[in-house]
Amino acid sequence: MFVLSASLSVPTDGNFADWVIFLTQEYGGIFLEGCMWTLLIALVGTVAGCVIGFICGSIQTIEIQDTDPLYKKLFIGILKLIFNIYVEVFRGTPMMVQAMVMYYGLPMIGISLAALPCGFLVVSINTGAYMAESVRGGIDSVDIGQFEAGKAIGMKHFEILRFIVMPQAIRNIMPQIGNQLVINIKDTSVLNVISVSELFFAGKTAASVYYKYFESFFIVAVIYLCLTLVISRIIRFIEKKMDGAADYSLESTGSTELKGEV
């Protein structure tokens, strides 16, 4: 970078394109690093959020039977209540505010987190709250007959969820997961309030030196757009993969006329 920037001169005529090129070369490393953190936080946050969402969403589907023992009714009831409160609180407040509250609030109860781990935590928990609802919807969208068929062969509730219902629910909520990932890529920008050096923060850094806010954030916008475009194409590809082939091959049963027939 030093070699590169040393050979560059600051554009003097204020031409937009010249400034964009200059800033890209001068702060390419910073943009790249911001880009990396944005992508990493968004990806990890979405995956962790999905895990939280799947746990919450699955628990919400447990039916309490009249015949269940009291401790089980209580335990599941309390668990559902806690998850409900969690979902309401984290869906009902802005992520930027959550970041501030956690970053400055957690040390009060003895948990001191650096900006970056705090950023990961905020995005994960926030995504989890949204995914919990998506997963519940995804499970609800799977035909009740699938549950019943699983029960009828003697499978337990969580076995049915794991082997039969979840794979179908995941396919149904794949567009939502993709959506959430795209939203997270953009929304990690709010983490600049706790000084996480993600892409928006990189843009601010680059802009402040020469007071070139438009040029700097133009570059940032282009990078965000590239990231989200690529990510949504990948998600679409995964969805197609999950749908599987449209046809199937017949198992050869020894009779020659069946061979090659599709």
Measured from the Cβ of residue 136, the count of other Cβ atoms closer than 10 Å reads 21
CB 126 within 8 A of CB 95: yes
Which region, judged by CB under 8 A, interacts with another protein, from 24-32, 99-107, 143-151, 188-196? 143-151
How many chain residues bind another protein (CB under 8 A)? Answer: 29
Rule CB under 8 A: choose which of 9, 12, 253, 256 binds another protein.
253
Rounded Cα distance, 143 and 100, in Å: 42
Which region, judged by CB under 8 A, interacts with another protein, from 81-89, 121-129, 145-153, 220-228? 145-153
Does 148 help bind another protein (rule: CB under 8 A)?
A: yes
x/- track of binding to another protein for residues 152-171 (CB under 8 A): xxxxx--x---xx--xx--x
Q: Which is nearer to another protein, 14 or 254 (CB)?
A: 254
Q: Which is nearer to another protein, 85 or 149 (CB)?
A: 149
State how far the alpha carbon of 101 is from the alpha carbons of 33, 172, 179, 194, 195, in Å.
Answer: 26, 34, 26, 10, 14
Lookup: tokens for 74 = 């209580």
Q: How far is the CB of 171 from another protein (least distance, A)?
A: 8
Dihedrals φ, ψ of 197, to 5°?
Answer: -85, 60
Does 234 help bind another protein (rule: CB under 8 A)?
A: no
Closest CA to 34 of 173, 224, 212: 224
x/- track of binding to another protein for residues 58-97 (CB under 8 A): -------xxx------------------------------
- Per CB under 8 A, residues contacting another protein are 65-67, 143, 145-146, 148-156, 159, 163-164, 167-168, 171, 244, 247-251, 253, 258
